[in-house]
Amino acid sequence: MERTLSIIKPDGVSRGLIGEVIKRFEESGIKITAMKMTYLSKKKAEGFYAVHRGKPFFESLTDFIASGPITVMVLEGEDVIQHNRDLMGATNYKEAKPGTIRADFATDIEKNVVHGSDAPETAATEIAYFFSSLEIVG
Ligand code: CMP
C-alpha cells in the first residue's frame, strides 16, 4: 500500500470540479484517507513548491496556487503515486492522454486542475505539509 498527496487547485475548485475529480479517484479503486478544504498563503505556497524556486514560472505558480481555496487529499492504494499520475495526465494538458483529468479540464500548463506527488519521498513530505498522522484514517 502506498500513499500520495492530491491537490485540486484553485481553478478546479472554482469551476466546480471537486466531485468530478473525486469520482474518478473512487471509480478507479483509489481510497481517500484524508481530505480538507484549505488555503495556501503565498509563503506556504513557496514552501510547498520549493523545488521549483528559481524557475521562470515559480512566481506565477505560487501566486496561482495561493489565489483561492484548494482541496487536499491523501490517496491510498497499490502503486497509487503512478496510478494518480496516470489519471491526471501530463503536466502540460496539450500532451495529456485523452480521458485524463488534465486533458479533459485543464486550460493551460499552470491552471491544470490537479497536483499529485511524483515519488514516495515527495509524497511523504507533501502529505506532512498538510496533514498530521492523526488526520489520516485507515
Ligand atoms: P504541478 O504538478 O502542480 O507541479 C508544478 C506546477 O508548475 C505544474 O503542476 C504546473 O501547474 C506549473 N507550471 C507552470 N509552468 C510550468 C512549466 N513550464 N513546466 C512545468 N510546470 C509548470
Per-residue pLDDT of the chain (138 residues; tens, 9 = 90+): 999 999 999 999 999 999 999 999 999 999 999 999 999 999 999 999 999 999 999 999 999 999 999 999 999 999 999 999 999 999 999 999 999 999 999 999 999 999 999 999 999 999 999 999 999 997
- Which pLDDT does position 44 carry in this prediction? 98
Task: Give the residue whose CA is nearest to atom 4 of ligand 1.
Answer: 115
**Does the C-beta of 112 come closer than 6 Å to ligand 1?**
yes
User: What amino acid is encoded at 125 in this protein?
Assistant: T
Q: 3-state class of 62 per DSSP?
A: helix
Q: What is the largest CA-CA distance in the chain?
A: 40
Residue 115 annotated among the catalytic residues of the structure: yes
- CB-based contacts of 41, cutoff 8 Å, min separation 6: 66
For 2-135, CATH gives: 3.30.70.141
The ligand 1 atom at the shortest distance from the C-alpha of residue 60 is: 14
Q: Kindly list the domain boundaries of the chain, sorted by start residue.
A: 2-135
- Which pLDDT does position 19 carry in this prediction? 98
- 75, β-bridge pairs: 4, 32
